[in-house]
Structure 1
Amino acid sequence: MKRWVQAGLLGAGLSGVACGSSSGADLGDGASGGSGGSVSQTELEIVISATDANFPHQDQLASQTPSHIRAGVRSLQLEDDRGELFTLFESQTAVQVSYDDGASMILTALAPETVRPGHFVKARLVQDWSRFDIQAVLHDGNQALQGTLNILQITSDGVSLDGESFDSGDFVDQWSGGGGQQEFSGVLPIPDESHTAGASAFLEEGTWAVYFPVDLTLSEGQVGRLEFRANLDHAFRWTDEDRAGYAAQTYDFAPPLSYETVSQFGANRFDVVVR
């Protein structure tokens, strides 16, 4: 296995690392998708799920839908219209969730007496890392090699994963395909803040926190399911470069110096479903 070490070379447009462009909407009862099965009548289940249903992208960027998408979620909170936070889920270490199409995971279940009633206008998600596969072309000399690039991006400090310790900005990319296996690792500094049309993310004392709008009312003693559904349709997005041997709608890279600039690799939006 070849191993390259580099610093900050995997695209300058990774500011939306944890969630990309996100937005929230209360879809009400009967929304499609989600975790399926019966809804709890005794607790309020807090669920993260995912879909790759068609999303209307407007940016004209090259794109593909990643696969084997995993992320480390450490906390999930709601902010009410008075600015007070209600913690739905919190863990000392991040819990792995899947953002593959149809995936669903119950983070926790709240007893009715612990549910804070009110109108909530914002969600806060702490996500410590993201990992996923994309199809790519590795340019090595005169060769253009097809394969899979597994991308791991760390967004918060103090992360323990795969028996190793990481801090915000660390990344490890593993190539498998033509030319065998190679590993590229280094540091890509995470910006102090990042904004998209529907989300704002901030590095808060080493913690990457993403805020997105919701319009949600919880009643006293609420039971059932509160689901945060991520859309990942063509959510890995980049700018094609006009270089010899590079192809349109193909993610091309030539380590250690040349990568097509990534603009997004996270959820297009989050929808909030209560039922």
Structure 2
Amino acid sequence: MKRSRIFFGTALSAGLLFGCSDDGANDDNGGQGANGGDANGGADEGGSSDGGSHDGGASEGGSNEGGSTSGVVRIHMTSSTEPFAHADGLSGQTPSAHKSGVRSLTLYREEGDADALVVFDLGQDSVEVDYADGSDTLVYTANTSELKDGIFKIARVVHSYVRYEIEATMHTNGLSLPGTFDNFQALSDGSLYEGELHDAGDYNYVFTTNGMSYPASGVGAPVPEWESTGGFSVQFENGEWAYYFPVNLAIDTDYTSPVDVYLGVNMHESFRWEDQSTLGYAEGVFDVTPTVFEPVLKFGANSFEVSVEGQ
């Protein structure tokens, strides 16, 4: 069994070669997103999540698996909520029931690559990825022979939507009501969720307190103010919410053994906001009113890891 690993919390790229016996050389240059974004992300929070072993089963995703003469590449997304040393001065929570829809994965040899490799693109559909601690979602299975040869330096992953639960205190009519938000938000245009198409910014928030639920839905939901964190950058382009991050993947389409690629994230207290000094608000509590939320400055992975396992 061969295994290589990249840790993106510090934007360190180790070479990964499908079918190669060694780990490859280190590459400290993360490069830029294929459309000009800083793939290093400029994050001030370093570190890396420990991906651990991948012996457990994975939830199923898409597939383009074909004949026996070709190897296969299985794309996984994994998550950890192990404690992470935050250094941003913000308050945070680890969301529960946290999931997102992954629409596509594209690899670039360099910025502006005109012959980019679209590993998969599900259009309005997506594969739902679970961010619970220890989760392993099999997002897609591709035939190695149907990919492209080359050394790829940049990855682009598009997310269609996000859903999560977060604890909050609602301040209204002189009362402070602790409860829970159960939130859905579309991140990309043309996203299919539970049989309905949504565009970026569509939302459905439900606040529950004392056994009563208060829904709110609409368009134009805000997104976190920080556009880079955890070793990657985020861009909204052509109606898609795209994450760019540096990789160093060398693909040989003649390789006939199975390869598993694991994209791992650390999500410890990844929902992060700036506490306000409003009367009745508490430090470390996500305080809201029916119309105003404390500013959410970050909501994404603290660190990013890529590892490869093959025979």
TM over 0.5: yes
SS in 2 for 1:157: coil
Alpha-carbon distance in structure 2 between the residues aligned to 1:236 and 1:24: 24
Alignment of 1:1-275 (within 5 A): 25-26=13-14, 32-33=51-52, 35-37=54-56, 42-81=71-110, 83=113, 84-92=115-123, 93-178=125-210, 180-188=212-220, 195-197=227-229, 198-220=231-253, 221=255, 223-256=258-291, 258-275=292-309
Q: Is the 8 A contact 1:22 1:268 kept in 2?
A: no
Alpha-carbon distance in structure 2 between the residues aligned to 1:24 and 1:270: 10
Amino acid in the other structure paired with 2:176? A
- Unaligned 5+ segments in structure 1 are 1-20
SS in 2 for 1:241: coil
Q: CA deviation at 1:27?
A: 9.1
Amino acid in the other structure paired with 1:252? D
Residue 6 of structure 1 aligns with which residue? none
Identity %: 32
Q: Is the 8 A contact 1:194 1:202 kept in 2?
A: no
TM superposition score normalised by structure 2? 0.72
Alpha-carbon distance in structure 1 between the residues aligned to 2:156 and 2:190: 19
Alpha-carbon distance in structure 2 between the residues aligned to 1:265 and 1:34: 26
Q: Is the 8 A contact 2:163 2:185 kept in 1?
A: yes
Q: Write the deviation string for residues 23-55 of structure 1: whole angstroms up to 9, x where unpaired.
A: 6745977x743642499x952211111111232
TM superposition score normalised by structure 1? 0.81
Amino acid in the other structure paired with 1:101? D
Amino acid in the other structure paired with 1:149? F
Task: Count matched residues.
Answer: 251
Q: Is the 8 A contact 2:51 2:305 kept in 1?
A: no
Alpha-carbon distance in structure 2 between the residues aligned to 1:148 and 1:22: 34
Alpha-carbon distance in structure 1 between the residues aligned to 2:176 and 2:85: 31
Q: CA deviation at 1:169?
A: 1.1
Alpha-carbon distance in structure 1 between the residues aligned to 2:220 and 2:227: 18
More strand by share: 1
Q: Is the 8 A contact 1:34 1:227 kept in 2?
A: no
Q: CA deviation at 1:62?
A: 0.5
Q: Write the deviation string for residues 237-266 of structure 1: whole angstroms up to 9, x where unpaired.
A: 00001112111101010112x210001122
Amino acid in the other structure paired with 1:33? G
Q: CA deviation at 1:123?
A: 0.9
Alpha-carbon distance in structure 2 between the residues aligned to 1:194 and 1:22: 18
Is the deviation greater in 79-88 or in 96-105?
A: 79-88
RMSD between aligned residues? 2.8
